[in-house]
Every structure is written in C-alpha cells, then in structure tokens.
Amino acid sequence: MAMADRPAPPRPHAGSSEQARLIARPESPGVELLRAAYRTQRFDRHFHEEYALGVIEGGALRFRYLGQTMIAAAGQVNLVVPGEPHDGHAALPHGWAYRMFYLAPRVVDAASAELRPRRTAPHFAAGVLEDPILAARVRQTHLLWEASAASLLARQTALLEMLTLWISRHAEAPGAAPRLGHEGGAVARARALLQERFAEDLSLDDLAGHVGLSPWHLVRVFKARHGLAPHAYLVQVRLARARALLAGPDRLADIAAATGFADQSHLTRLFKARFGLTPGACRNFLQNCEGEAG
C-alpha cells in the first residue's frame, strides 16, 4: 500500500550502503513496517497521515520536528504524529538503522480507547523517547510482524500490547486500564472457540467479538485466568493436536497444515521447544511404543 506523502525508501542494490524493506500485510490494513539502514539518505521536510513509531537499532538519526532539532540514537524510540512536518538524515558518519511502524490513526485510536474511552486521539509531545522497555517491545513486535509464520492473532495481540504500553507511558492524559472483573464465562467461551477452530487464522477482533469483550480486556483477563495470552494458548492447542496425529500415517507437512502451522519447519521449531524433540523423533517413539505393545 503506497503512501503518497512519505518519500519512498531507496531500493537496495549490490554494493549499496542503503537498504530498506517495506512490508504491508493485506489482512492488517492501516499497519506498515519499514526496516532500513541508511548512510547518505536525506529525507526532505514532509509529513505523514499516519503515526510513525520505531526504534533505532544502530547509529543515530537527526531530524527537525516540533520546532526543535532532535537526535534519536541506538536504543531510543523515535516517533512522529500525523500532520507534523519533519525531515531526517544521519547524525553520524556511518548513518543509522531502524525499525519503524506506520500506523493509521484508527489503529492508534482503537488502542487508546482501551485506556481512554470517549476521549480525543492521543497526542505525544516528544519525538525521541528514552524508554528501554518500550524500545524492546517495539523491536520484538516488529520482528514478529516481519515473520511470515506468525499468526494473525499473535501479531494483533503484540501490536495492541505495544500501543497500549506506548500510550500509557508517554501520551498526554493517557488514561488507565480498566480493572479486571469476573469474566470467567467470556474466557471460557474464548478458550472453547480456540479449541474448536484451532486450524484457522483467527483475528483478535473475531475472538473478542465472539465473547463480548474489547480486544485488550480479553487478552488481560485471559492471561490472568490461564497464564497465557490467547495466541499462546492457541499454539499449545495446535501442538497437542499435532502430537495426537503423529501416531497415524499422515505426512508431517500435512499434519502441519491440518493443525494451523505455516509449514513443517514452523511445526518442528515450536514442537521441539514444547516437547524437547522433533515431530519425527516423537513419531518414531510413539510408533515403536505401539509396536512393542502389540
């Protein structure tokens, strides 16, 4: 999805010091990701229609924003709000590397509504934040969104948690999370839906709408009840279903597809992390035990 008001990142080529990758996922409109390393790139003064939120991974970025010259260095969070002009270029000879989210106002507003119901859109008075916790969360969320194997539920949950962290720590009049109540029935219905439709790429909005809670409130009460977020619980359900199928004749690739994993390697990686052995080794163990019992 092209953004006409933002300079297009230069295409990387062999021997270039400039590298950039822009990602937009069709199932998540209003969210774009940029991962880039620049040395000589200079962005002319411009503005975005979106919020930009990112983390500097190396070097430093200098930019003019809100009437001030700012420098965002490695480990710091860099942001701009919609409609505010700014520029950008390297603050050090070796340039800078960063990971950025470009977020439509409706995406940020939805997260803000979890903290500030019926209030205006959040505003942020700074362009550089010294917040290691938020910086780590932005980087982790960006990495997750980059990963092709990540589920929609995992991506949306991570993004919502990142945004509510950002808003609660740095927005003007941030609001506060509602207190947790007795939502055991809603959590049980969410758990049942995950068990029933485990092979589908469910969205957080679908799950929350099914049980009548807001997305973030559902994540919070689900974690409080089970110690896992809904997407992590879904992974456990999928792994259990896959393990049960290993006793049969289906190919590992078919088992991965039938249980909602991106591919066989995705199943193998998560299966080994959970059970301590690969699906193939588990299959051999199960079938040998069955043969000995026979």
What CATH number matches the domain at 245-293, 1.10.10, 2.40.30, 3.30.70, 3.60.90? 1.10.10
pLDDT value of position 39: 95
Provide the β-strand partners of residue 52. Answer: 80, 102
Q: Is the model's pLDDT at 288 over the cut of 50?
A: yes
Quick one: pLDDT at residue 4?
35
pTM for this entry: 0.86
Least reliable range by pLDDT among 37-51, 81-95, 107-121, 205-219: 107-121
Interval 2-12 mean pLDDT: 38
Looking at residue 122, its pLDDT comes to 85
Neighbours of 27 (CB within 10 A): 10
Does position 173 have pLDDT exceeding 80, yes or no?
no
The CATH T-level fold of domain 184-227 is: Arc Repressor Mutant, subunit A (1.10.10)
Whole-Å CA distances, 2 to 8, 23, 277: 8, 10, 44
Q: Is the pLDDT of residue 15 over 60?
A: no
Domain spans, the chain? 19-170, 184-227, 245-293
| Largest Cα–Cα separation, the chain | 79
Binned at pLDDT 50, 70 and 90, residue 16 comes out as low
Provide the CATH topology of domain 19-170.
Jelly Rolls (2.60.120)
Give yes or no on whether 19-170 and 184-227 have one common fold. Answer: no
Strands (E), the chain: 19-24, 31-38, 42-46, 51-65, 68-73, 77-80, 86-90, 96-103, 128-129
Residue 221 burial (10 A CB sphere; 0-12, 13-18, 19+): buried
Give the percent of the chain with pLDDT over 90: 81
Average pLDDT of span 282-294: 70
